[in-house]
Amino acid sequence: MPKQFIIRHAKIYTPLTLISDGYIVVEDNTIKEIGREPYQGSVAEQINAEGLIISPGFIDTHIHGYGGRDTDEADVDAIYTISRGLAKHGVTSFVPSSVTMPHEALVKIAESIREARNEWRPEKGARILGLHLEGPYLSVEKAGAQNKKYIRPASVKELEEYIKASGGLIRQITVAPENPGALDLITYAVAHGITVSIGHTNATYEQTRLAIERGARKATHTFNGMRGIHHREPGPVIAVLEDDSVYIELITDFIHISPPVVKFVIKHVGPHRMVLISDSICAAGLPDGTYELGGLKVIVKNGVPRLADTGALAGSTLTLDKAVRNVHSLGFSLRETLMMASYTPAASINALYRDKIGLLAPGFKADIVFLDEALNVVKTMIDGEIIYEKN
């Protein structure tokens, strides 16, 4: 007998539509049926979700660490610490991100992602979708918190080795289009099903256009680590915002980007192109103090991580539940806001139909977040199992 249960009387955001009094039938780890109450069938095991909001679990496509551990450690336990921690914040899938490092170190990280993904079970926490290589083919001028020492010309040969070491799990790569060899690398990455994201770049508008023509389809923490907008040199920001085929990552902690700019950008691109990310580092979920990112010293004060020597922002301590509350506070509807944390991130890395996540519909994974009216996470379900419950 397959394991079966029903979630009843929930306010369901699929998130393409809203079902104000809805039910979801789950069989094993998959959604079997979704509809409006009253449910006509008979399923013995019931979860009463009256008064709760339901959305597909959040999907963080750009995150370095959480709870004292980092992707850069190339350690399976580190990845699982992040997985478990993220489940508390409603995240059911994530793409661990590396930073710019020597080749051998990145190969080791790719291997650890493969191993973590192979041994993953729902009890471990959020699903591991693959690796986001943030670098090393970036701009030295726009390195931000990336270690300039290891920034280098784009190498298809190196990328081939990362793909191999990860067992085909490179999901996203951040590239500066003006980096030598970048355009050929973009063509290669796109042909291998990797989402190419434009970022840490000092490219002109024209150079950014060339990357989009080669298949780049995303912008890494738009505005941050990017040449700014000038009315005679629109640069990468205008190039990515104006093209409907490009997904836009934003860090909405209201520190990396001021709220009026967040509002302006979302109004311009719409929720179907907006990908909320945390870009969090190991300090997320921990108090202020001294930490490390890619071998560089980071000081976290009032929750804001900065490089000790330059003062540059070094990732964040944001979590996606907080990002959702922030964006909703700007006046965007809950349906649109939840879409930016689930459906659109999944679409941006081709995970909607490949991994069956990001949408509550028959055939999709039972990865579900339960929220209260104030948008606090009450329960997180992964693969049909409750992994986190607020007490």
Task: Tell me the C-alpha distance between 169 and 165, whole Å.
Answer: 9
Q: Give the x/- contact pattern for Zn ion in 76-95, rule: CB under 5 A.
A: --------------------
- For the chain, how big is the Rg over CA atoms in Å? 20
Q: Give the x/- contact pattern for Zn ion in 128-147, rule: CB under 5 A.
A: ------x-------------
Stretch that binds Zn ion, among 38-46, 272-280, 295-303, 383-391 (CB under 5 A): 272-280
- By CB under 5 A, what part of segment 183-202 binds Zn ion? none
E strand or H helix that includes residue 328: helix 320-329
Q: Which is nearer to Zn ion, 122 or 236 (CB)?
A: 236
Q: What single-letter amino acid sits at 361?
A: A
**Shortest Cβ 135–Zn ion spacing (Å):** 9
Q: Which residue is nearest to Zn ion (CB)?
A: 279
Stretch that binds Zn ion, among 21-29, 84-92, 224-232, 271-279 (CB under 5 A): 271-279
Task: Tell me the C-alpha distance between 212 and 222, whole Å.
Answer: 15
Count interface residues toward Zn ion (CB under 5 A): 2
Task: Tell me the C-alpha distance between 261 and 208, whole Å.
Answer: 21
Q: Give the x/- contact pattern for Zn ion in 202-241, rule: CB under 5 A.
A: ----------------------------------------
Interface with Zn ion (CB under 5 A), residue from 60, 178, 279, 367: 279
Distances (CA, A) of 172 to 38, 132, 202, 351: 42, 5, 20, 12
279 catalytic? Reply is: yes
Q: Which is nearer to Zn ion, 47 or 95 (CB)?
A: 95
- By CB under 5 A, what part of segment 298-317 binds Zn ion? none
Q: Which is nearer to Zn ion, 25 or 169 (CB)?
A: 169
Q: Which is nearer to Zn ion, 73 or 385 (CB)?
A: 73
355 binds Zn ion (CB under 5 A): no
Q: Which residues contact 279 (CB under 8 A, 6 or more apart)?
A: 62, 63, 64, 97, 221, 251, 256, 315, 316, 318
**Shortest Cβ 152–Zn ion spacing (Å):** 18
Which one is catalytic: 279, 321, 355, 383?
A: 279
User: Could you tell me which of 203, 141, 214 has the C-alpha nearest to residue 177?
Assistant: 203
Task: Tell me the C-alpha distance between 183 and 208, whole Å.
Answer: 10
User: Could you tell me which of 224, 228, 273, 225 has the C-alpha nearest to residue 252?
Assistant: 224
Q: Which is nearer to Zn ion, 62 or 127 (CB)?
A: 62
CA 162 to chain centre: 20
**Shortest Cβ 134–Zn ion spacing (Å):** 5
Q: Which is nearer to Zn ion, 274 or 313 (CB)?
A: 313
Q: Which is nearer to Zn ion, 145 or 377 (CB)?
A: 145
Distances (CA, A) of 178 to 47, 99, 201: 53, 19, 7
Q: Which residues contact 104 (CB under 8 A, 6 or more apart)?
A: none
Q: Following DSSP, what letter does each residue of 200-255 receive, concatenated?
A: SB---HHHHHHHHHTT--EETTTTTTB---BTTB-HHHHHHHH-TT-EEEEE-SSS
DSSP 123: G
Stretch that binds Zn ion, among 102-110, 183-191, 278-286, 303-311 (CB under 5 A): 278-286
Catalytic residues: 279
Residues in touch with Zn ion (CB under 5 A): 134, 279
